[in-house]
Amino acid sequence: MKRIVLPVLFTFLVATTFGQDLKKATSYVNDKKYEKAKTEIDGILAKDPANTEALYLKSKVYSLMADSSAFKSLFTGDTYGEAFDAFKKALKDSANPKITLMVMKDNYAPVFTIYQGYYAEAANAFNDAASAANKPDTVGFAKAMNLFIKANEVGQYIREGKWANIGKVDTTLVLNIAKAALNAKKDAVAREYFQQIADAHIAGLHNATGQTDPSFELPYQWLVLDYKQSGDSANMVKYANIGKELYPKDDYFDLVEMDYYREKENHPALFKKYDELTARNPDSIRYHLNYATEIFSYLYNSDEGAAISNKEELSNTLKAQLDKAVALDANNPSVNLLYAQYYYNQGIVTLENAGKIKGAKLPADQLKKRTDLNTQGDNFLKQAIPYAEKALTTLEEGYKKAERSKYKSVANLLQNIYQSLGDNAKLKIYQDKYDQADAKFVN
């Protein structure tokens, strides 16, 4: 009979012993004698690893000790991680009223201490890496990244338990993960967490309507540039559109798209973006001039023989953009130079077309056509002169060294115009201006 009752008695004795040990550990915790509490708890779990009450006490004691530099020497490895693992294991025993009571009494304090502890360690690691003497400290930033990720895992566990109002995207924390990853040269990780922010259309800490934080613009800017560089136009446009929606005053997103279309030689898409940009910024001389310059380059610098079906339409748009730019600043030398080049090219092309009508004895209609084209060509050249002269006069004010090259371009253009018109006297004037530029533009 004794053999039958011994196991029952043994179990009873073990349970009594564990109960006594738990009371002792709890007493040590209440008295803030954490080192003694740790010894008791570790002993219980060594014998009974599934003891949920001891696991909860472990999460409480370990999180408190990890949060204090006085106990750092007692631990190796990730103390917050051990505390978090113990907390999760303890709460799996949802049917145990003792666990429920312990957690509610502490108001879930251990898991919040773990969350805050990871965050603080991550922030310190980030700041240390940022101020490191040997920059870039990619190792330090990688450490910060991993700690921020662990903080986020704890935060999402808190969110799932509905113990605090933490969003599915923990805004600042997720932004910090991505920023640390970016500095650690972990682009794949940066992309993952920047996308979490961008896909949720987050523009600030509380994401209030109409309120944006410039620091939250980084995810959209980085993603647009990243997808542009990888050739993923669909995602580039996707995040550019979200960025423009949240930050409508920032033209960065349009400019990156335009770079992409320019590199791909997708001129229809490029010019469409310019239409949007100039319409949104009607008083920007820079955008009007850039648009006109893009068209000019496309019309006159394309590969020989390249077919441009809408050449006349583009030429009209070029002139319209120049008209808007001149209206904004009639003395702008860059605008005046491009306008002069526009008319000069119109004149040269027209004169070349006239020259194609050859023959000593031409029919009357062909002779008239050639005469008319020559007249039109000369008129275009004459229309270029006032703009070129205005540019030259403006650039002569101060003779700034940085503008010497542009000045010589204008002087050279005027030489070509007067040579085409057969005016040798004027040709000589601008030859002299060109030759004297190096001596005058020295400051």
Reply yes or no on whether the pLDDT at 351 is more than 80: yes
Q: Model confidence at 362, in pLDDT bands (50, 70, 90)? A: confident
Q: Which residue has the higher pLDDT, 125 or 307?
A: 125
Instruction: Give per-residue pLDDT as tens, 380-424.
Output: 999 999 999 999 999 999 899 999 999 999 999 999 999 999 999
Q: Averaged over 172-188, what is the pLDDT?
A: 97
Contacts of 399 (CB under 8 A, 6+ apart): 440, 441, 442, 443
pTM, rounded to two decimals = 0.83
Closest residue by Cα to residue 59 from 86, 92, 25, 38: 86
Res 16: pLDDT: 45
Confidence of residue 14 (pLDDT cuts 50, 70, 90): very low
Q: SS3 helix, strand, coil % of the chain, rounded to 5? A: 80, 0, 20
The pLDDT assigned to 28 comes to 86
- 373-397 b/e (C-beta count within 10 Å ≥ 16 → b): bbebbbebbebbbebbebbbebbbe
Instruction: Decide if 57 contacts 38 (C-beta within 8 A).
Output: no
Burial letters for 90-115: b for 16+ Cβ neighbours within 10 Å, e otherwise? bbebeeeeebeebbeeeeeebbbbbb
End-to-end alpha-carbon separation of the chain, Å?
Answer: 113
Q: Which amino acid is at 96?
A: N
DSSP three-state, residue 215: helix
pLDDT by residue (tens digit) across 135-165?
778 999 999 999 999 999 999 999 999 999 9
DSSP state of 56: H
Task: Using alpha carbons, select from 44, 41, 14 the residue that is nearest to residue 28.
Answer: 41
Comparing 208 with 94, the larger pLDDT belongs to: 94
Sign of CA dihedral 200, 204, 205, 207: negative
Q: Quick one: CA torsion of 128, 129, 132, 135, rounded to 10 degrees? A: -170
Residue closest to 274 by CA, chosen among 256, 259, 257, 291: 291
pLDDT, residue 285, reads 97
pLDDT of res. 302: 75
Cβ–Cβ < 8 Å for 260, 228 = yes
